Chain A
Amino acid sequence: MSDRVYAKDAGWKDMAAGGVIPQAGNAVEYETGGWRTFRPVRNDEACINCLQCWIYCPDDAIVCEDQTIKGKPYDLEHCKGCGICAKVCPVKCIEMKTETDFQD
Protein backbone atom coordinates (compact mmCIF):
# COMPACT_ATOMS: atom_id res chain seq x y z
CA MET A 1 0.00 0.00 0.00
CA SER A 2 1.16 3.51 -0.72
CA ASP A 3 1.53 6.58 1.46
CA ARG A 4 -1.95 7.61 0.43
CA VAL A 5 -3.55 4.77 2.36
CA TYR A 6 -3.20 3.88 6.06
CA ALA A 7 -1.50 0.52 6.49
CA LYS A 8 -3.47 -2.60 7.35
CA ASP A 9 -1.59 -2.80 10.63
CA ALA A 10 -1.74 0.93 11.42
CA GLY A 11 -1.92 1.46 15.18
CA TRP A 12 -4.25 3.89 16.93
CA LYS A 13 -1.49 6.45 17.22
CA ASP A 14 -0.70 6.29 13.49
CA MET A 15 -4.00 7.66 12.22
CA ALA A 16 -5.75 11.01 12.20
CA ALA A 17 -7.99 11.78 15.19
CA GLY A 18 -11.74 11.45 14.85
CA GLY A 19 -11.61 8.59 12.37
CA VAL A 20 -11.19 11.00 9.48
CA ILE A 21 -9.75 9.91 6.14
CA PRO A 22 -7.45 12.82 5.19
CA GLN A 23 -6.31 11.36 1.86
CA ALA A 24 -9.01 12.42 -0.58
CA GLY A 25 -9.81 10.10 -3.48
CA ASN A 26 -7.43 7.34 -2.43
CA ALA A 27 -9.99 4.72 -3.43
CA VAL A 28 -8.33 4.71 -6.85
CA GLU A 29 -5.71 2.55 -5.19
CA TYR A 30 -8.35 -0.12 -4.48
CA GLU A 31 -8.69 -2.47 -7.42
CA THR A 32 -12.19 -3.55 -8.32
CA GLY A 33 -11.16 -4.97 -11.71
CA GLY A 34 -10.98 -8.42 -10.18
CA TRP A 35 -14.78 -8.44 -9.90
CA ARG A 36 -15.23 -8.85 -13.64
CA THR A 37 -16.88 -11.79 -15.33
CA PHE A 38 -17.04 -9.95 -18.63
CA ARG A 39 -14.61 -7.44 -20.10
CA PRO A 40 -15.53 -4.68 -22.57
CA VAL A 41 -13.60 -4.67 -25.82
CA ARG A 42 -14.06 -1.66 -28.07
CA ASN A 43 -13.67 -1.63 -31.85
CA ASP A 44 -11.85 1.71 -32.06
CA GLU A 45 -12.40 2.05 -35.79
CA ALA A 46 -16.16 1.87 -35.41
CA CYS A 47 -16.20 4.12 -32.33
CA ILE A 48 -17.66 7.57 -33.09
CA ASN A 49 -16.41 9.11 -29.82
CA CYS A 50 -19.95 10.08 -28.81
CA LEU A 51 -18.91 9.59 -25.14
CA GLN A 52 -22.21 7.91 -24.15
CA CYS A 53 -20.22 5.08 -22.58
CA TRP A 54 -18.19 7.61 -20.60
CA ILE A 55 -21.18 9.45 -19.12
CA TYR A 56 -22.98 6.25 -18.11
CA CYS A 57 -20.06 4.28 -16.64
CA PRO A 58 -20.73 3.81 -12.91
CA ASP A 59 -17.03 3.45 -12.20
CA ASP A 60 -15.42 6.20 -14.28
CA ALA A 61 -13.51 3.41 -16.01
CA ILE A 62 -13.61 4.83 -19.52
CA VAL A 63 -10.31 6.58 -20.06
CA CYS A 64 -10.71 9.86 -21.89
CA GLU A 65 -7.88 12.17 -22.91
CA ASP A 66 -8.17 15.32 -25.03
CA GLN A 67 -11.92 14.68 -25.23
CA THR A 68 -11.20 11.37 -26.97
CA ILE A 69 -11.75 7.76 -25.93
CA LYS A 70 -10.86 6.30 -29.31
CA GLY A 71 -7.65 4.33 -28.97
CA LYS A 72 -7.58 4.65 -25.21
CA PRO A 73 -7.69 1.49 -23.10
CA TYR A 74 -10.31 0.89 -20.44
CA ASP A 75 -9.26 1.33 -16.83
CA LEU A 76 -9.14 -2.41 -16.25
CA GLU A 77 -8.01 -2.00 -12.65
CA HIS A 78 -11.46 -0.67 -11.89
CA CYS A 79 -13.88 -1.79 -14.63
CA LYS A 80 -16.40 -4.17 -13.06
CA GLY A 81 -17.69 -5.48 -16.39
CA CYS A 82 -21.29 -4.33 -15.84
CA GLY A 83 -21.88 -4.04 -19.59
CA ILE A 84 -23.68 -0.69 -19.54
CA CYS A 85 -21.21 0.78 -22.03
CA ALA A 86 -21.92 -1.97 -24.52
CA LYS A 87 -25.66 -1.49 -24.10
CA VAL A 88 -25.71 2.28 -24.54
CA CYS A 89 -23.26 2.43 -27.44
CA PRO A 90 -25.28 3.70 -30.41
CA VAL A 91 -23.03 1.96 -32.96
CA LYS A 92 -22.62 -1.24 -30.97
CA CYS A 93 -18.83 -1.15 -31.18
CA ILE A 94 -18.28 -2.61 -27.70
CA GLU A 95 -18.40 -6.34 -27.10
CA MET A 96 -18.53 -7.88 -23.65
CA LYS A 97 -16.15 -10.81 -23.80
CA THR A 98 -15.71 -13.46 -21.13
CA GLU A 99 -12.91 -12.50 -18.79
CA THR A 100 -11.36 -15.94 -18.97
CA ASP A 101 -10.63 -15.33 -22.67
CA PHE A 102 -7.80 -13.07 -21.55
CA GLN A 103 -4.54 -14.02 -20.03
CA ASP A 104 -3.78 -10.81 -18.11
Chain B
Amino acid sequence: MWAFAVKEGITVPKNLKQLVDSPVRLTAGHRLCPGCGEPITVRQVLMGTDDPVIVANATGCLEVSTTIFPYTAWNVPWMHIAFENAAAAASGLEAMYESLKAQGKIDADANYKFVAFAGDGGTYDIGFQALSGAVERRHSFLYVCLNNQAYMNTGVQRSSASPLGAHTTTSPSGRTSVGKQMVQKDLTECMVAHEMPYVAQSIPGRWRDLVGKAEKAFATEGPSFINVLAPCPLGWICDPADTVDIAMLAADTCIWPLYEVVEGEYKLTYKPKEKKPVDEYLQPQGRFKHLFKGDEGAQMRQRIQENTDRKWEQLLKKCGEA
Protein backbone atom coordinates (compact mmCIF):
# COMPACT_ATOMS: atom_id res chain seq x y z
CA MET B 1 0.00 0.00 0.00
CA TRP B 2 2.71 2.48 0.86
CA ALA B 3 6.22 2.79 -0.40
CA PHE B 4 8.47 3.67 2.48
CA ALA B 5 12.14 2.97 2.36
CA VAL B 6 14.75 4.52 4.56
CA LYS B 7 17.85 5.02 2.44
CA GLU B 8 20.55 2.52 3.22
CA GLY B 9 23.49 3.84 5.09
CA ILE B 10 21.61 6.66 6.81
CA THR B 11 22.45 7.06 10.46
CA VAL B 12 19.13 8.29 11.75
CA PRO B 13 19.83 10.92 12.92
CA LYS B 14 23.31 12.34 12.26
CA ASN B 15 25.13 13.64 15.31
CA LEU B 16 25.81 17.33 15.83
CA LYS B 17 29.45 17.12 14.77
CA GLN B 18 28.20 15.81 11.42
CA LEU B 19 25.35 18.28 11.20
CA VAL B 20 27.56 21.35 11.63
CA ASP B 21 28.90 20.73 8.14
CA SER B 22 25.41 20.95 6.61
CA PRO B 23 25.04 23.64 3.97
CA VAL B 24 23.37 26.76 5.26
CA ARG B 25 19.92 26.66 3.68
CA LEU B 26 18.28 29.41 5.73
CA THR B 27 20.76 32.21 6.33
CA ALA B 28 21.08 34.74 9.12
CA GLY B 29 19.69 38.18 8.34
CA HIS B 30 16.05 37.08 8.33
CA ARG B 31 13.71 39.27 10.32
CA LEU B 32 11.83 36.76 12.46
CA CYS B 33 11.53 37.76 16.10
CA PRO B 34 14.35 37.00 18.52
CA GLY B 35 13.74 33.54 19.93
CA CYS B 36 11.19 32.54 17.27
CA GLY B 37 10.56 28.80 17.10
CA GLU B 38 10.10 28.80 13.33
CA PRO B 39 13.65 29.35 12.08
CA ILE B 40 14.97 26.86 14.63
CA THR B 41 12.51 24.35 13.15
CA VAL B 42 13.37 25.19 9.55
CA ARG B 43 17.13 24.96 10.16
CA GLN B 44 16.75 21.58 11.81
CA VAL B 45 14.32 20.17 9.24
CA LEU B 46 16.49 21.18 6.31
CA MET B 47 19.45 19.39 7.91
CA GLY B 48 17.47 16.20 7.41
CA THR B 49 18.77 15.61 3.90
CA ASP B 50 21.86 16.27 1.82
CA ASP B 51 19.80 16.08 -1.37
CA PRO B 52 18.74 19.28 -3.15
CA VAL B 53 15.71 20.83 -1.51
CA ILE B 54 13.01 23.00 -3.11
CA VAL B 55 10.68 24.89 -0.80
CA ALA B 56 7.04 25.94 -1.16
CA ASN B 57 6.12 28.41 1.58
CA ALA B 58 2.66 29.67 2.54
CA THR B 59 2.05 33.29 3.48
CA GLY B 60 2.94 33.81 7.13
CA CYS B 61 5.69 34.91 9.46
CA LEU B 62 8.33 32.69 7.90
CA GLU B 63 7.57 33.74 4.33
CA VAL B 64 7.25 37.40 5.10
CA SER B 65 10.30 37.70 7.32
CA THR B 66 12.69 35.71 5.18
CA THR B 67 11.95 37.36 1.81
CA ILE B 68 11.55 41.11 2.22
CA PHE B 69 12.53 42.32 -1.24
CA PRO B 70 15.38 42.73 -2.17
CA TYR B 71 16.65 40.33 0.53
CA THR B 72 16.15 36.61 0.72
CA ALA B 73 17.42 34.33 3.45
CA TRP B 74 16.94 31.24 1.27
CA ASN B 75 19.89 29.49 -0.30
CA VAL B 76 17.58 26.96 -1.97
CA PRO B 77 14.94 27.37 -4.71
CA TRP B 78 11.91 28.83 -2.96
CA MET B 79 8.41 29.75 -3.97
CA HIS B 80 5.55 31.56 -2.32
CA ILE B 81 2.21 31.89 -4.08
CA ALA B 82 -0.47 32.55 -1.46
CA PHE B 83 -1.75 31.64 1.98
CA GLU B 84 -3.84 28.52 1.51
CA ASN B 85 -1.91 26.68 -1.13
CA ALA B 86 1.55 25.63 0.07
CA ALA B 87 0.54 22.02 -0.56
CA ALA B 88 -0.86 22.83 -4.01
CA ALA B 89 2.32 24.73 -4.88
CA ALA B 90 4.43 21.79 -3.70
CA SER B 91 2.22 19.52 -5.83
CA GLY B 92 2.91 21.62 -8.90
CA LEU B 93 6.66 21.77 -8.32
CA GLU B 94 6.83 18.04 -7.71
CA ALA B 95 4.61 17.28 -10.70
CA MET B 96 6.88 19.22 -13.04
CA TYR B 97 9.96 17.52 -11.57
CA GLU B 98 8.44 14.06 -12.06
CA SER B 99 7.40 14.98 -15.59
CA LEU B 100 10.80 16.27 -16.63
CA LYS B 101 12.53 13.33 -14.98
CA ALA B 102 10.28 10.86 -16.82
CA GLN B 103 11.19 12.62 -20.06
CA GLY B 104 14.90 12.37 -19.34
CA LYS B 105 15.26 16.16 -19.05
CA ILE B 106 16.38 15.77 -15.45
CA ASP B 107 18.93 13.12 -14.53
CA ALA B 108 17.39 9.79 -13.59
CA ASP B 109 19.63 9.69 -10.49
CA ALA B 110 18.46 13.07 -9.30
CA ASN B 111 16.82 13.06 -5.91
CA TYR B 112 15.25 16.45 -5.40
CA LYS B 113 13.25 16.87 -2.21
CA PHE B 114 10.16 19.04 -1.97
CA VAL B 115 9.19 20.68 1.31
CA ALA B 116 6.14 22.76 2.09
CA PHE B 117 6.33 25.09 5.11
CA ALA B 118 3.13 26.61 6.41
CA GLY B 119 1.81 27.89 9.71
CA ASP B 120 -1.14 26.46 11.55
CA GLY B 121 -3.34 28.97 9.76
CA GLY B 122 -2.15 27.81 6.36
CA THR B 123 -2.47 24.15 7.43
CA TYR B 124 -5.32 23.58 9.89
CA ASP B 125 -7.69 26.15 8.45
CA ILE B 126 -7.37 27.88 5.12
CA GLY B 127 -4.78 25.43 3.82
CA PHE B 128 -6.43 22.18 4.89
CA GLN B 129 -8.08 21.46 1.57
CA ALA B 130 -4.89 21.79 -0.41
CA LEU B 131 -2.98 19.66 2.12
CA SER B 132 -5.59 16.92 2.12
CA GLY B 133 -5.71 16.92 -1.68
CA ALA B 134 -1.94 16.80 -2.13
CA VAL B 135 -1.59 13.94 0.36
CA GLU B 136 -4.47 11.99 -1.16
CA ARG B 137 -2.81 12.27 -4.56
CA ARG B 138 0.38 10.87 -3.02
CA HIS B 139 2.80 13.54 -4.24
CA SER B 140 6.30 12.97 -2.90
CA PHE B 141 6.88 15.81 -0.52
CA LEU B 142 7.33 16.69 3.13
CA TYR B 143 4.80 19.06 4.65
CA VAL B 144 5.93 20.79 7.83
CA CYS B 145 3.35 22.67 9.86
CA LEU B 146 5.02 25.43 11.87
CA ASN B 147 2.42 25.33 14.59
CA ASN B 148 2.47 28.35 16.88
CA GLN B 149 -1.23 27.94 17.51
CA ALA B 150 -2.62 31.19 16.11
CA TYR B 151 -2.49 33.43 13.05
CA MET B 152 0.62 35.13 14.35
CA ASN B 153 1.64 37.15 11.31
CA THR B 154 -1.60 39.12 11.30
CA GLY B 155 -1.55 39.70 15.06
CA VAL B 156 -2.28 36.54 17.04
CA GLN B 157 -5.82 35.66 15.92
CA ARG B 158 -7.17 32.25 16.85
CA SER B 159 -6.87 29.30 14.57
CA SER B 160 -8.35 25.84 14.99
CA ALA B 161 -4.91 24.92 16.36
CA SER B 162 -5.19 27.42 19.20
CA PRO B 163 -5.42 25.44 22.42
CA LEU B 164 -8.23 25.35 24.94
CA GLY B 165 -8.13 28.40 27.19
CA ALA B 166 -5.64 30.37 25.14
CA HIS B 167 -5.96 34.11 24.89
CA THR B 168 -5.77 35.26 21.29
CA THR B 169 -6.97 38.50 19.81
CA THR B 170 -10.12 36.85 18.43
CA SER B 171 -10.65 34.65 21.47
CA PRO B 172 -9.49 37.09 24.10
CA SER B 173 -9.82 36.62 27.82
CA GLY B 174 -12.15 39.19 29.27
CA ARG B 175 -14.65 39.78 32.03
CA THR B 176 -16.93 37.12 30.64
CA SER B 177 -14.46 34.90 28.85
CA VAL B 178 -11.53 32.68 29.70
CA GLY B 179 -10.14 32.51 26.18
CA LYS B 180 -10.74 29.88 23.56
CA GLN B 181 -13.63 27.59 24.43
CA MET B 182 -13.00 24.87 21.89
CA VAL B 183 -10.44 22.13 22.11
CA GLN B 184 -7.79 22.43 19.42
CA LYS B 185 -8.30 20.33 16.31
CA ASP B 186 -6.13 17.21 16.27
CA LEU B 187 -4.76 17.68 12.78
CA THR B 188 -2.04 15.08 13.23
CA GLU B 189 -4.73 12.44 13.64
CA CYS B 190 -6.54 13.82 10.58
CA MET B 191 -3.36 13.24 8.61
CA VAL B 192 -3.02 9.71 10.02
CA ALA B 193 -6.53 9.08 8.69
CA HIS B 194 -5.17 9.80 5.18
CA GLU B 195 -3.20 6.56 5.54
CA MET B 196 -0.05 8.33 4.39
CA PRO B 197 3.40 6.78 4.79
CA TYR B 198 4.76 9.06 7.53
CA VAL B 199 3.13 11.35 10.08
CA ALA B 200 4.80 12.81 13.15
CA GLN B 201 4.64 15.43 15.89
CA SER B 202 7.76 17.15 17.14
CA ILE B 203 9.20 20.30 18.66
CA PRO B 204 12.26 22.41 17.87
CA GLY B 205 13.38 21.90 21.47
CA ARG B 206 14.58 18.34 21.00
CA TRP B 207 16.82 18.41 17.93
CA ARG B 208 17.45 14.70 17.89
CA ASP B 209 13.72 14.10 17.59
CA LEU B 210 13.06 16.69 14.90
CA VAL B 211 16.13 16.11 12.76
CA GLY B 212 15.59 12.37 12.99
CA LYS B 213 11.99 12.73 11.89
CA ALA B 214 12.99 15.01 9.04
CA GLU B 215 15.53 12.43 7.91
CA LYS B 216 12.88 9.70 7.91
CA ALA B 217 10.41 11.94 6.13
CA PHE B 218 12.92 12.85 3.42
CA ALA B 219 13.68 9.18 2.92
CA THR B 220 9.97 8.44 2.45
CA GLU B 221 8.49 7.91 -0.97
CA GLY B 222 5.20 9.68 -1.14
CA PRO B 223 3.84 12.29 1.22
CA SER B 224 4.99 12.88 4.79
CA PHE B 225 3.75 15.30 7.43
CA ILE B 226 5.41 16.68 10.55
CA ASN B 227 3.43 18.89 12.93
CA VAL B 228 5.95 20.97 14.89
CA LEU B 229 4.86 22.96 17.93
CA ALA B 230 6.91 26.13 17.48
CA PRO B 231 6.71 28.54 20.43
CA CYS B 232 6.11 32.19 19.57
CA PRO B 233 7.48 34.56 22.24
CA LEU B 234 5.33 37.40 20.97
CA GLY B 235 2.02 35.60 20.61
CA TRP B 236 2.48 33.30 23.60
CA ILE B 237 3.75 36.24 25.66
CA CYS B 238 6.85 34.61 27.07
CA ASP B 239 10.58 35.22 27.27
CA PRO B 240 12.34 34.70 23.93
CA ALA B 241 15.08 32.83 25.79
CA ASP B 242 12.54 30.22 26.92
CA THR B 243 11.53 28.92 23.49
CA VAL B 244 13.36 25.61 23.82
CA ASP B 245 12.36 25.14 27.47
CA ILE B 246 8.69 25.81 26.81
CA ALA B 247 8.72 23.41 23.88
CA MET B 248 10.19 20.73 26.16
CA LEU B 249 7.53 21.47 28.78
CA ALA B 250 4.89 20.84 26.14
CA ALA B 251 6.41 17.38 25.70
CA ASP B 252 6.96 16.77 29.42
CA THR B 253 3.37 17.67 30.32
CA CYS B 254 2.17 15.50 27.42
CA ILE B 255 0.19 18.41 26.09
CA TRP B 256 2.16 17.98 22.83
CA PRO B 257 3.29 14.38 22.67
CA LEU B 258 6.20 13.48 20.42
CA TYR B 259 5.30 10.50 18.30
CA GLU B 260 5.35 9.17 14.78
CA VAL B 261 3.07 6.97 12.71
CA VAL B 262 5.03 4.92 10.20
CA GLU B 263 2.80 3.19 7.66
CA GLY B 264 -0.02 3.23 10.17
CA GLU B 265 2.04 1.96 13.12
CA TYR B 266 2.15 4.32 16.10
CA LYS B 267 5.41 4.84 17.96
CA LEU B 268 6.09 7.15 20.87
CA THR B 269 9.41 8.90 20.34
CA TYR B 270 9.56 10.55 23.75
CA LYS B 271 8.13 9.43 27.04
CA PRO B 272 8.71 11.86 29.90
CA LYS B 273 10.29 10.21 32.91
CA GLU B 274 7.89 12.16 35.03
CA LYS B 275 4.66 13.46 33.50
CA LYS B 276 4.40 17.05 34.71
CA PRO B 277 1.10 18.80 35.45
CA VAL B 278 -0.07 21.11 32.64
CA ASP B 279 0.16 24.15 34.92
CA GLU B 280 3.95 24.02 34.62
CA TYR B 281 3.59 24.53 30.88
CA LEU B 282 0.84 27.15 31.15
CA GLN B 283 2.50 29.25 33.86
CA PRO B 284 5.39 30.83 31.88
CA GLN B 285 3.06 31.93 29.08
CA GLY B 286 1.17 35.22 29.25
CA ARG B 287 -1.48 33.86 26.91
CA PHE B 288 -2.67 31.62 29.78
CA LYS B 289 -2.17 34.11 32.62
CA HIS B 290 -5.92 34.75 32.96
CA LEU B 291 -6.37 31.06 33.86
CA PHE B 292 -4.54 31.61 37.12
CA LYS B 293 -7.11 34.05 38.43
CA GLY B 294 -10.48 33.07 39.76
CA ASP B 295 -12.70 30.00 39.60
CA GLU B 296 -13.40 29.99 35.90
CA GLY B 297 -9.71 30.04 35.18
CA ALA B 298 -9.15 27.13 37.53
CA GLN B 299 -11.98 25.20 35.91
CA MET B 300 -10.49 25.80 32.48
CA ARG B 301 -7.10 24.56 33.66
CA GLN B 302 -8.80 21.46 34.93
CA ARG B 303 -10.45 20.97 31.55
CA ILE B 304 -7.06 21.33 29.95
CA GLN B 305 -5.53 18.75 32.29
CA GLU B 306 -8.39 16.32 31.71
CA ASN B 307 -8.24 16.72 27.96
CA THR B 308 -4.47 16.27 27.99
CA ASP B 309 -4.72 13.12 30.11
CA ARG B 310 -7.47 11.66 27.96
CA LYS B 311 -5.49 12.22 24.74
CA TRP B 312 -2.31 10.92 26.34
CA GLU B 313 -3.98 7.69 27.46
CA GLN B 314 -5.41 7.20 23.96
CA LEU B 315 -2.01 7.73 22.44
CA LEU B 316 -0.28 5.36 24.83
CA LYS B 317 -2.75 2.65 23.84
CA LYS B 318 -2.12 3.25 20.14
CA CYS B 319 1.61 3.14 20.72
CA GLY B 320 1.32 -0.10 22.68
CA GLU B 321 2.66 1.61 25.76
CA ALA B 322 -0.45 1.54 27.92
Contact = CB atoms under 8 A, between A and B. Distances in A.
A55 B240 contact: no
A23 B19 CA distance: 25
Given A25-B24, A28-B27, A58 B17 contact: no
A7 to B, nearest CB: 8
Interface in A38-91: 50-52, 54-61, 64, 67, 75, 77-78, 80-84, 86-88
Nearest to B39: A58
B35 A58 contact: yes
Interface residues on A, range: 35 or more
A82 B27 contact: no
Main SS at interface, chain A:
loop
Contact of B28 (A21, A24, A27, A88): A27
Given A25-B24, A27-B27, A78-B28, A58 B40 contact: yes
B319 interface: no
Contacts of A28: 27-29, 73
B244 to A, nearest CB: 5
B241 A86 contact: yes
Interface residues of B, number: 44
A51 B27 CA distance: 18
A56 B71 CA distance: 23
Given A25-B27, A27-B28, A82 B35 contact: yes
Contacts of B28: 27-28, 32, 59-61, 75, 77-78
Interface stretch (B62-70, B98-106, B216-224): B62-70
A93 to B, nearest CB: 15
Contacts of A52: 16
B160 interface: no
Interface of B: 16-17, 19-21, 24, 26-40, 43-44, 66-67, 69-76, 204-205, 207, 233, 239-245
13 contacts: A5-B71, A21-B71, A32-B28, A55-B19, A58-B32, A59-B28, A67-B17, A67-B20, A75-B28, A78-B28, A80-B35, A82-B241, A84-B244
